[in-house]
Amino acid sequence: MARDWRKYLDESETRRRDRLVKIEKIKKQKRSVRGRTVDDWLVDGPLIEGDESEELFAQRLAQLTSAGQRRGRVIEVHKRNIFVAEENQEGQPETELLWLCSVAKRHFQRAHKERNFVVVGDRILFEPDADVTFDSEGQPKETDLPRGVIQHAFVRHSRIARRDPLNPEWEHVMLANIDLLVVVASVFHPEVRWGLIDRFLVQAELEGLPAAIVLNKVDLLENPKLATEDFLERYKKRVSIYKNIGYDVFEICALKPRKTQAEVKRLREAFKGKLIGFAGHSGVGKSSLLNLMKPEFEQIVDENPDIFYKGRHTTTYNSLLQLGIGAYAIDTPGVRSFSVEGFDSITLTECFPEFRGHKCHYRECTHDHEPQCGIKAAVEEGRISRERYRSFMGLLKGISFREGEGDSSEAEVIADIKARTQARDEKLKAQQALDTEDEEQ
């Protein structure tokens, strides 16, 4: 049995060589606008290419699955322990059918630097360990988690990566195959930071991902002590800015969903059948929001806070959750470290949808001091909001999110960078420890 797929790997050698040639080509070119890197090709190793003819793809897949390999979706990664949910016929992960997998050794050798050969959301093929026995339905008999080895990874249709803050040539892929990035913020506690929302939106645009904004805790808008008239005015203006650009904005109260029943319904519709990445600071109500997607909420009948699940969502790793509406969610606690600094103006202009299509005199116009700038003209005419223009400038100059009230101060930004650097150092140390481990083996 095992021979079959090895044969397949041999056959794929030519394709691998083709790919290496392509990589060399890409290396010579500048990085693409989307920020995709060469690593995309490298980390996947010998895989089933999505861009080949569908027929060939189906054939290979059939060959591998009939040789005993199973389709799965990575739902959690803890160093070398990878939790995989088996995929059903429709390609949807069944989070009840869990496997504990490792990655085939050859992939480590190919991409030694890339620790996360697979990331949460990846679609993979794994081979059950020899000692796993199956029942008549083809399901493993073990009461413990059955084990397997990941042999192949599918090409990612989308991914979220962050650049290494100290080495911008490096990228860490964090999540794969997301259909929608949902930026969650709360109007108060903590107060909404529009500059941060813009950062996440830019990240989504950069990855070619559709994005939506959820504004939670709108019940607090009724509190005149918090929501001054001035605040309300600015808030409403902001909401309409994003709606006008074309982003879906949902204003909800996750704690008392009845209060915003129509919005919650609309939200559930928008989420249906998708793999959703949630971005946002802790405390904004991501867990509460996820709970609205549970089957118990099919009809919003209860406001009993006891149903609120906690625990797992407050963890510090990415984890894929099955929601009650045929949707899947990845909570992304790590998104704090999304880094979109250091982009040229052309790329960044592309990431602000309402900036597209304005003609400037200079091709590489930074829309700052240049004459005959279409963007500045649009700002003057009110077709582009000043708020978003300021955000753009901030990002372009690497100042990141500093503008406006409720946004972070310089000290916070510096603290953020410090925290990131420290996290990176710790990660490097951990990696070195693993490397030594490798050598000892």
Binding footprint of ligand GDP on the chain (CB under 6 A): 216-217, 219-220, 253-255, 282-288, 313
CB of 102 to ligand GDP, least distance (A): 31
Total of residues contacting Zn ion (CB under 5 A): 5
Closer Cβ to ligand GDP, 156 or 313, answer by number: 313
CB of 377 to Zn ion, least distance (A): 9
Q: 48 and 57 in contact (C-beta within 8 Å)?
A: yes
| Residue 406, SS3 per DSSP | coil
What residues between 366 and 425 interact with Zn ion by CB under 5 A? 367, 373, 375
CB of 334 to ligand GDP, least distance (A): 14
3-state helix, strand, coil in the chain (%, to 5): 40, 20, 40
73 sits near Zn ion (criterion: CB under 5 A) = no
CB of 388 to Zn ion, least distance (A): 14
Given ligand GDP, Zn ion, none, residue 254, with its beta carbon under 5 to 8 Å by kind, binds ligand GDP
Cα of first residue to Cα of last residue in the chain, in angstroms, is 28
CA distances from 76 to 63, 106, 119, 325, 420 (A): 27, 21, 8, 21, 22
CB of 210 to ligand GDP, least distance (A): 21
Adjacency order of strands within the sheet including 180-186? 248-251, 211-216, 180-186, 275-279, 328-331, 319-322
160 sits near Zn ion (criterion: CB under 5 A) = no
Given Zn ion, ligand GDP, none, residue 116, with its beta carbon under 5 to 8 Å by kind, binds none
Given ligand GDP, Zn ion, none, residue 313, with its beta carbon under 5 to 8 Å by kind, binds ligand GDP
**Structural tokens at position 107:** 């992939």
**Structural tokens at position 293:** 């997607």
Dihedral pair phi/psi, residue 429, rounded to 5°: -60, -45
CB of 310 to ligand GDP, least distance (A): 7
Handedness of CA 343, 344, 350, 352 (dihedral sign): positive
Closer Cβ to ligand GDP, 68 or 190, answer by number: 190
174 sits near Zn ion (criterion: CB under 5 A) = no
Q: Give the Cα-Cα-Cα angle 165, 167, 173 (nearest 5 degrees).
A: 70
Closer Cβ to Zn ion, 48 or 375, answer by number: 375
CB of 431 to Zn ion, least distance (A): 42
Dihedral pair phi/psi, residue 186, rounded to 5°: -120, 150
> In sequence order, what DSSP letters do the residues of 151-196 get, joined into one string?
EEEPPPS-EEEEE-SS-TT-EEEEEE--SEEEEEEESTTTTP-HHH
Interatomic CA distance for residues 95 and 36, integer angstroms: 29
Given Zn ion, ligand GDP, none, residue 125, with its beta carbon under 5 to 8 Å by kind, binds none
Given ligand GDP, Zn ion, none, residue 365, with its beta carbon under 5 to 8 Å by kind, binds Zn ion
DSSP structure class, residue 317: S
CB of 10 to ligand GDP, least distance (A): 48
Closer Cβ to Zn ion, 125 or 375, answer by number: 375
Given ligand GDP, Zn ion, none, residue 98, with its beta carbon under 5 to 8 Å by kind, binds none
Among 201, 360, 384, 395, binds Zn ion (CB under 5 A): 360
Question: Residue 175 carries which side chain, given as an amino acid letter?
Answer: L
Given the rule CB under 5 A, which residues bind Zn ion? 360, 365, 367, 373, 375
